[in-house]
A and B are shown apart, each in its own frame.
Chain A
Amino acid sequence: MSEGTPPPAAIQTVDVVKVFDGGLVRALDCVTMTVGRGEFVAVMGPSGSGKSTLLHLVASLDAPTSGAIIVSGRDLRSAGNERFRRSEVGLVFQLHNLLPHLNALENVVVPMFSNGMGHREQRERARELLKAVDLSAKEKMTPPRLSGGERQRLAIARALANHPSIILADEPTGSLDSTSADRILALFRRIREERGVTIMLVTHDMHVALAADRIMYMRDGRIVEGLPAGAPPTDGG
């Protein structure tokens, strides 16, 4: 890349439309937005505003009806979805979606299959990540034996398994008490600082959104405002 050329955005969407039920539901309506590298962006909006749909499209879990999604300079329409999900993004869900019969260490190892690492390397990497989320002492415990906050930290460790450049989190604190939620947010900020990853977090909680660098506000499938954190939306949403 030549000097003076701005680095490619981490995430860019251009006129993205997503309809469901044969066009009856227009979840996203010409969404164009950009998230810079290393940025921590919160996407806010009421239920049904399209924020989770946008996150799923960026994660390549679903395909847009029209428009372009470019992640790390690659158009997702031509990218191999599985490889993209494995190597470029880490996903964190509200209900964590951990495998209940595997222990914490094994849950972190699961995404590492097919990444070319040996078993020992995988284990070491998983231990390093568990240490990063302060779960080293619980690597042998299965998710049902962990608290809600611990499960979400474990889900974050799993999301980081393959050195992703982007973390996509869908309501990661939605089922946590405020203390656990604050701890998760602090963890996201620390990960962003230490690893330089881009974080896109969907929430309907202003307290959570304020932890981000910038807030994108969505309504009826459109981005209505992009505010720096701390500035309240003007439409009262």
Chain B
Amino acid sequence: MSFFALIARNVFTRKLRSSLTGVAVAIAIMTVVALGVLTHSLRLTAISVLRTGEADFTVAQKGVSDVVYSAMDDAQVERLKSYPGVDSLIGVLIAVAKLDSNHPFFLELGIPPDQLANFGVQVLDGTAYDPTATDQVMLGYRAADDLHKTVGDRITIDTADFRVVGIYTVGNVFGDSASMLPLTTLQGLERKPGSVTLAFVKVKPGTDIAALRASIEKDNPAVATVRTESEFGRVDRNLSLISAANVATSILALVIGAIGVMNTTVMSVFERTREFGVLRAVGWTRARVVGLVMGEAVLISLAGAAVGLAMGYVAIRLIEHVPQVVGVFQPDYPASIFGRALGMAFGMAFIGAFYPAVRAALLEPMEALRHE
């Protein structure tokens, strides 16, 4: 029998205690995984908004709570176009409409039809809308599938009635789950004449992008430019807050899981005092006793983590079907989240079992053997 086999035997012998500890770890890991995947995927979706059309960078109003609440007027857009390094600039208005209870956040993108190609829009079926049409709309293919609409069908968005003239893709979840209509039409419906949400900028070859962005931000203090994922928080405070909440929740889950492990391990060490006395009496070193207790905690935590990962996956699959996130949430499972879960499992085991392990190791053999 190896030392590891003894650890495994001890864990499996005390099924109820091991299971309860494992459940505490599993719930903590599930929370971390589900929240991690949720925030990571929402972040990816939000970032994909800024990357649509393969722009070199995006301009938005600085410091808004959510990027869709950004607002820039015609004058600002024209000023941005005038910078020498700017090759092209597409102003897009983004609005949120409620279709029904299953689609409370349906996105509308207002884009001039002559800019669709520059924006990376590929029409899969039908045609693009007319520049001045007030009753024409294109649906992203995900939205069309979800709403069971095809070219020629009619759709009511808020109170306006539209005819679906085309089905498109832009290559990301956000855009493909939305609708597109002429910019002026959407500006009229939203009562935001001359206003856009985002400006997508392509620069001329050889332009120093960093210098251009710095120049724009210096001349226009109300706007921020975004090029990388890490800069997204500058124009969307909600996502920054969600990310911060995710970190805080992970820490809380670690603490709660560690307390769960500590609670059951302390009880276990107390109940097994005589056993540790025997082990010390037959010559086990203090270090080996620590290794035994810690090993048991690590094994239980890893088993709990495996269950927690599976529970986290199931939770994500359930969240996918929550109406509020349909269309904006496409689960992505980065390795870093699984690495964090594994690290947390080890963390819970070490933090939770350290004190009881040391307590077991410090037991004097005679004192432990007298324990009833």
Contacts and interface: CB of A to CB of B under 8 A. Distances in A.
A82 to B, nearest CB: 5
A106 interface: yes
Given A82-B286, A102-B9, A119-B2, 5 more contacts: A59-B281, A61-B365, A99-B278, A113-B288, A114-B284
Contact of A86 (B2, B283, B364, B369): B283
Contact of A101 (B13, B278, B366): B13
Contacts of A59: 281
Interface in B231-286: 274-275, 277-286
B366 A56 contact: yes
Contact of A85 (B2, B3, B6, B281): B281
Contact of A113 (B3, B9, B274, B280): B3
A82 B279 CA distance: 10
Interface of B: 1-3, 6, 9-10, 13, 274-275, 277-286, 288, 364-366, 369
Interface string A73-112: 0000000001111110001010001110110011001110
B283 A82 contact: yes
Question: Top 5 closest A-B pairs, CB basis?
Answer: A86-B283, A111-B282, A101-B13, A85-B283, A97-B278
Given A97-B278, A110-B282, A62 B366 contact: yes
B282 A86 contact: yes
Nearest to A115: B283
Nearest to A106: B1
A83 B366 contact: no
8 contacts: A82-B284, A85-B280, A85-B282, A97-B278, A99-B275, A106-B6, A113-B288, A114-B283
Nearest to A83: B283
Interface string A108-131: 011101100001001100000000
Q: Chain B binding site: helix, strand, loop or mixed by DSSP?
A: helix
Given A61-B366, A97-B274, A119-B1, A110 B6 contact: yes
Nearest to B272: A99
A49 interface: no
B57 to A, nearest CB: 63
A158 interface: yes
B121 to A, nearest CB: 66
Given A61-B365, A97-B278, A87 B2 contact: no
A114 B285 contact: yes
Interface size grouping (class) on chain A: 20 to 34
Contacts of A162: 283
Nearest to B369: A97
A102 B278 CA distance: 13
Given A101-B10, A109-B1, A93 B284 contact: no
Interface string A35-53: 0000000000000000000
A62 B365 CA distance: 8
B283 A111 contact: yes
A9 to B, nearest CB: 22
Contacts of A105: 1
Interface in A60-78: 61-62
A91 B281 contact: yes
Interface string A190-233: 00000000000000000000000000000000000000000000
Contact of A110 (B279, B364, B365, B366): B279
Contacts of A110: 6, 279, 282
Given A113-B3, A114-B288, A93 B282 contact: no
Contact of A61 (B6, B275, B281, B288): B281
Contacts of B282: 85-86, 91, 110-111, 158, 161
Contacts of B286: 82
Contacts of A85: 280-283
A61 B281 CA distance: 7
A106 B365 CA distance: 21
Nearest to A80: B285
Nearest to B13: A101
B1 A87 contact: no
A87 B13 CA distance: 29
Contacts of B3: 113
